[in-house]
Structure 1
Amino acid sequence: MTIDNVTAVYFSPTGNTEKMCTQIAQELAKKLRVPCRHVNFTLPAARTRRHVFAGTSLVVFAMPTYAGRLPNKLVPFVQKNFQGLQSPAITLVTFGNRSADSALPELAQTLAQNGFYVIAGASLAAPHVFSPRIGNTRPDAADMRLQEDFIRALVNKLRPQLPLTEVPRPSLLSAPIAPYYTPLGIDGKPAKFLKAKPQTNLPACTRCLRCVNACPMGSINPEDPSQVPGICIKCHACIHICPHHAKYFADTAFLSHVAMLEQNYTRRAKNHYYL
């Protein structure tokens, strides 16, 4: 097979998924001696066009895990606007130190249905956006060693003399996809915070509009950044980017879920690689 470029494709509201995706894509491009390109579809302005990849493009496609699956508001865009022409693809999902659940097979199967030839995948632990106490050291040195092994295995799998159709495909393509994870509170009962939205500490807010520009759903009112009339997917982009820490969540069910995560998921979660 012939590879003439590596393209990193990602949705990454807080930057964790982008970082991991680009690290792997750039290292693959370096070893394959081809250019590395980027498609960042995080912001609404970037989701206005369709992307078609030739069979000579190696696509490294990454998304974060939300409630054990892909972010449901983004799945229709991926299904409609990314097309492969038997393009080799590596699927990556990040997860906040709890579990990736079904996010990785969902991404692999979605891309396969869109004409990509998925050759590998990985679920990678990352800092949890809900709390600085969960996964805050990931990726660590052990992760980076495993990533280097994964990249070496990928380069070997992409041998030029081997036709793409003879490259083994991972088990992800036939794995069952479970329902969305039900968030639990500290009491072990379902925590319902679907309608929760970030609040604003008005004295701290300078109306710099960084939160407005960072929101992947375009949901924050630019005339009054304390108002969030649109959909909130709890990505925490607005909270992480605010230089004055003016954004926060106050919903009691949401805070109970965060407390449960802090109680049960500060242990080191394992990454998983599929070749």
Structure 2
Amino acid sequence: MDKKINTLYFSATNTTKKVVSGIANKLSENMKSEITNNIDFTLPKVRENSVAFTEEDIVIVGVPVYAGRVPNVLLKYLNSIEGNGALAVAVVLYGNRNYDDALIELKDILEDRGFNVISAGAFIGEHSFSKILAQNRPDDKDMAIVEEFADKIYNKLSKGDKLYPIEVKGCKPYRNYYRPKNKEGIPVDIRKVKPKTNSNCNDCKICARVCPMGSIDFEDVTRFNGICIKCGACIKKCPNNAKYYDDENYLRHKHELEDELTYRREPELFI
């Protein structure tokens, strides 16, 4: 089997990266082939340049689920990629609530860009809002499923049969973005909510470096020069716990998720 293995992912807190890399590494082992290209488009500079693939490539593409969909801030970049007949594995990662229409949306985007999507999976990672919801996932159990998934992809490719389009869960037209509700049951908009900075901050600049929107001011990390997508990178990667949210609706939704979504969701695979 003569295919070049590539990864392509957005992963602000490294959970999507872990799953995508796990699939690629196991597939590389099975195919006895090196991973040709790792494209991490989490930071804005990388998204300034598009990429193109060929029929010789297989690309494991991963994105997180935001409000039940592919993050809209990634659509411009994803729609600039050229598949040119490359094979693709579509991967979404969500925080134990639901992936809603994110997987079917990612599959559609990839097919529209000229990829042949041969398999897909929805995996679970620690929620971007929380340090306890789906804590430490993807964990060992998840990663065992990742390896099994890669084995099934390899077996499918090894058969040499015609690769027919796969079906995945989701609705078309896609549902609206999921919206949290206040205590009166009225939907609230938390898109403009941004984290604050407390006195623990020692100006190490890590938050500014990891912000996938490039929104945290490098000279004054308490300031935002752009949007906040609630990815959790600045909070989870701060060594001093200096970043936090104090918005009432955001915190209510965070606690609601933590209280109600304790049931362990499991990965769903589509081969």
* TM-score of Structure 1 vs Structure 2, range by shorter chain: over 0.9
CA distance in 1, matches of 2:100, 2:12: 20
Match of 1:139 in 2: 138
SS at match of 1:260: helix
SS at match of 1:89: strand
TM-superposed CA distance for 1:14, in Å, is: 0.9
Match of 1:17 in 2: 16
Aligned-residue identity in percent: 35
Q: Deviations over 1:115-160 (max 9, x none)?
A: 0000010000111121112101422343233323322211111126
Q: Deviations over 1:42-100 (max 9, x none)?
A: 001111211000111110000000000011111111102x1111100000000001111
TM-score, length-scaled by structure 1: 0.93
Does the C-alpha gap of structure 1 residues 173 and 109 become closer, same or farther in structure 2, counting only changes over 3 Å?
Answer: farther
1:78 paired with 2:74, answer no
Match of 2:65 in 1: 65
Of 52-61 and 170-179, deviating more is 170-179
Report the residue type matching 2:206 in the other structure. R
SS at match of 1:157: helix
CA distance in 2, matches of 1:259, 1:174: 27
* Contiguous gaps of at least 5 residues in structure 1: none
CA distance in 1, matches of 2:238, 2:140: 29
1:195 paired with 2:183, answer no
Count residues with an aligned counterpart. Answer: 269
CA distance in 2, matches of 1:174, 1:85: 25
Match of 1:111 in 2: 110
Does the C-alpha gap of structure 1 residues 212 and 141 become closer, same or farther in structure 2, counting only changes over 3 Å?
Answer: closer
SS at match of 1:74: helix
**Root mean square deviation of aligned Cα:** 1.7
Report the residue type matching 1:96 in the other structure. G
SS at match of 2:119: strand
CA distance in 1, matches of 2:233, 2:89: 25
Q: How does 1:47-66 map to 2 (within 5 A)?
A: 47-66=47-66
Q: 2:244 aligns with which of 238, 244, 248?
A: 248
CA distance in 1, matches of 2:138, 2:254: 21
Q: 1:213 aligns with which of 203, 206, 209?
A: 209
Q: How does 1:127-206 map to 2 (within 5 A)?
A: 127-159=126-158, 161-162=160-161, 166-172=162-168, 176=172, 177-185=174-182, 188-201=185-198, 203-206=199-202
Does the C-alpha gap of structure 1 residues 169 and 219 become closer, same or farther in structure 2, counting only changes over 3 Å?
Answer: same
Q: 1:268 aligns with which of 242, 264, 269?
A: 264
Report the residue type matching 1:68 in the other structure. G
* Contiguous gaps of at least 5 residues in structure 2: none
1:126 paired with 2:117, answer no
CA distance in 2, matches of 1:140, 1:13: 17
SS at match of 2:252: helix
Does the C-alpha gap of structure 1 residues 272 and 188 become closer, same or farther in structure 2, counting only changes over 3 Å?
Answer: farther
Does the C-alpha gap of structure 1 residues 130 and 174 become closer, same or farther in structure 2, counting only changes over 3 Å?
Answer: closer
1:238 paired with 2:234, answer yes
